[in-house]
């Protein structure tokens, strides 16, 4: 809504400026992609793919999908346009809407907006630390408080199977799993960690920890990341149950939460997805990324009184009669060209109601121009905060008014 838009613009402008300082370039991938891209990339058993995507069948039989997340589309573009040819490390970000068939509630919508950042080409913990630092720094610059960062390592293709064996045995002995989780425990056991049902959550309290199964390389990666986070003074908690709902994550997974938003407490989340590029038909390039939920950030900023509202108007022209309008129309065009916000009343209302409108629009200056002023060649310019008035020449209106903003 217009009343909220100033906050949205602050969030977007701050993200663009900060991300560019980290060497990220903006990309605008399409909102529509083939269903297949998400099914292969995110995983058929995930909540997103199995029940949350909006799909449209075309006459050809192809199914296209309103993107539920940005990573798969950015990876598709990276492969298709061979973005890796010139730079071995590519850093991309995108801002835009995502679509998921969810039960709408406060902080959870079917169309919502994310700021996504993806870094391709480095497999080490240094890029993990840099990208987590960027996400955290954005939220800090925006003035968000009481943030907590959770991190986990999901292991790799070498060590995760050992955890999965142990975890599958554990799940087979769990009595109170919901029907979805019984199916998940057969098909894709890790997804049981995504379940919101309290019985399943309780059952997982005694689950084995994936961190106890990490191979030496994954362990060293995780330790090094922690060392860098300490160095950056970014506080974090380790949460061995954090798996983040998508199949493609490997090693590092992270989430930034707030205690100010009730149930929908996650403001950002991401992780490493080294295998995704190959799954989607590209080269074997490592990658890490994150997504920040804009509605939640905006809600937090509103709660903290960080909405500056609409900017005040530079100049209101109280214009009385058609001749006066003909005089000011080209003047307004010039002033707007110079970047001065200028407004009039289109309906030729009385001076009193035009002055009320000037107040409502929080005009800094108001110029009064009618037949009398046109005849005398002198118009009155009022400085609204003090009511002080001065006379200016009607002949050189554009110059006289433009000069006001020079000093």
Summarize as ranges the residues that interact with ligand AMP (CB under 6 A). Answer: 69, 100, 102, 107-109, 112, 114, 245, 266-269, 291, 293, 295-296
In the complex with ligand AMP, the residue whose CB is nearer, 267 or 367, is 267
Q: Closest by alpha carbon to 265, among 305, 297, 302? A: 297
Q: Classify burial at 60, counting beta carbons within 10 Å of its beta carbon; exposed 0-12, middle 13-18, buried 19 or more.
A: exposed
In the complex with ligand AMP, the residue whose CB is nearer, 121 or 293, is 293
In the complex with ligand AMP, the residue whose CB is nearer, 267 or 394, is 267
In the complex with ligand AMP, the residue whose CB is nearer, 196 or 406, is 196
In angstroms, give the least distance from the CB of 303 to ligand AMP: 15
In the complex with ligand AMP, the residue whose CB is nearer, 202 or 259, is 259
In angstroms, give the least distance from the CB of 44 to ligand AMP: 17
In the complex with ligand AMP, the residue whose CB is nearer, 134 or 174, is 134
Using Cβ positions, the residue closest to ligand AMP within the complex turns out to be: 293
In the complex with ligand AMP, the residue whose CB is nearer, 44 or 350, is 44
3 state SS of 263: coil
Task: Locate the DSSP E strands across 139-284.
Answer: 147-153, 236-238, 252-258, 266-272
Expressed in percent and rounded to 5, the helix, strand and coil fractions of the chain are 40, 20, 35
In the complex with ligand AMP, the residue whose CB is nearer, 107 or 286, is 107
In angstroms, give the least distance from the CB of 194 to ligand AMP: 10
181-189 — which CB contacts under 8 Å span 24+ positions? 184/45, 187/45, 188/43, 188/45, 188/46, 188/247, 189/164
Instruction: Provide the 8-state DSSP code for 108.
Output: B
Instruction: Decide: 17 and 160 in contact? Cβ < 8 Å.
Output: no
Counting every residue written for the chain, the total comes to 407
Alpha-carbon distance 202 to 154, whole Å?
21
Which residue do the tokens 């809407």 mark? 97
Alpha-carbon distance 190 to 136, whole Å?
27
Alpha-carbon distance 262 to 259, whole Å?
7
In angstroms, give the least distance from the CB of 402 to ligand AMP: 44
Q: How far is CA 127 from CA 17, 53, 151, 228, 257, in A?
A: 19, 31, 15, 10, 21
């Amino acid at each position: 809504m217009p009343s909220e838009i100033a906050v949205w613009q602050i969030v977007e402008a701050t993200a663009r400026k900060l991300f560019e300082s980290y060497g990220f370039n903006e990309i605008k991938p399409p909102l529509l992609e083939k269903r297949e891209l998400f099914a292969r990339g995110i995983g058929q058993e995930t909540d997103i793919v199995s029940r949350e995507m909006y799909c449209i069948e075309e006459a050809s039989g192809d199914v296209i999908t309103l993107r539920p997340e940005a990573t798969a589309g950015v990876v598709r573009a990276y492969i298709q346009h061979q973005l890796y040819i010139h730079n071995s490390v590519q850093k991309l970000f995108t801002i835009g809407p995502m679509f998921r068939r969810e039960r709408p509630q406060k902080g959870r919508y079917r169309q919502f907006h994310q700021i996504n950042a993806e870094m391709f080409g480095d497999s080490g913990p240094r890029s993990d630390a840099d990208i987590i630092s960027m996400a955290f720094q954005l939220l800090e610059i925006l003035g968000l408080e009481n943030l907590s960062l959770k991190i986990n390592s999901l292991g790799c293709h070498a060590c995760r199977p050992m955890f999965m064996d142990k975890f599958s045995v554990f799940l087979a002995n769990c009595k109170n799993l919901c029907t979805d989780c019984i199916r998940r425990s057969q098909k894709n056991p890790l997804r049981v960690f995504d379940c919101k049902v309290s019985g399943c959550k309780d059952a997982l309290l005694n689950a084995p920890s994936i961190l106890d199964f990490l191979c030496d390389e994954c362990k060293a990666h995780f330790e090094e990341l922690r060392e860098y986070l300490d160095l950056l003074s970014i506080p974090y908690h380790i949460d061995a149950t954090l798996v983040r709902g998508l199949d493609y994550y490997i090693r590092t997974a992270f989430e930034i939460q707030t205690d100010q938003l009730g149930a929908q407490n996650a403001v950002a989340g991401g992780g490493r997805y080294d295998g995704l590029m190959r799954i989607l038909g590209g080269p074997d390039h490592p990658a890490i990324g994150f997504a920040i939920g804009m509605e939640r950030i905006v809600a937090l900023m509103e709660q903290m009184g960080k909405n500056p509202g609409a900017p005040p108007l530079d100049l209101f022209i109280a214009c009385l009669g058609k001749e006066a309008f003909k005089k000011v129309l080209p003047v307004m065009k010039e002033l707007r060209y110079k970047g001065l916000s200028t407004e009039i009343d289109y309906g030729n209302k009385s001076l009193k109601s035009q002055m009320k409108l000037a107040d409502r629009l929080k005009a800094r200056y108001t110029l009064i121009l009618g037949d009398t002023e046109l005849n005398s060649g002198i118009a009155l310019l009022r400085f609204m905060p003090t009511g002080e008035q001065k006379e200016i020449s009607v002949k050189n209106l554009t110059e006289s008014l433009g000069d006001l903003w020079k000093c």
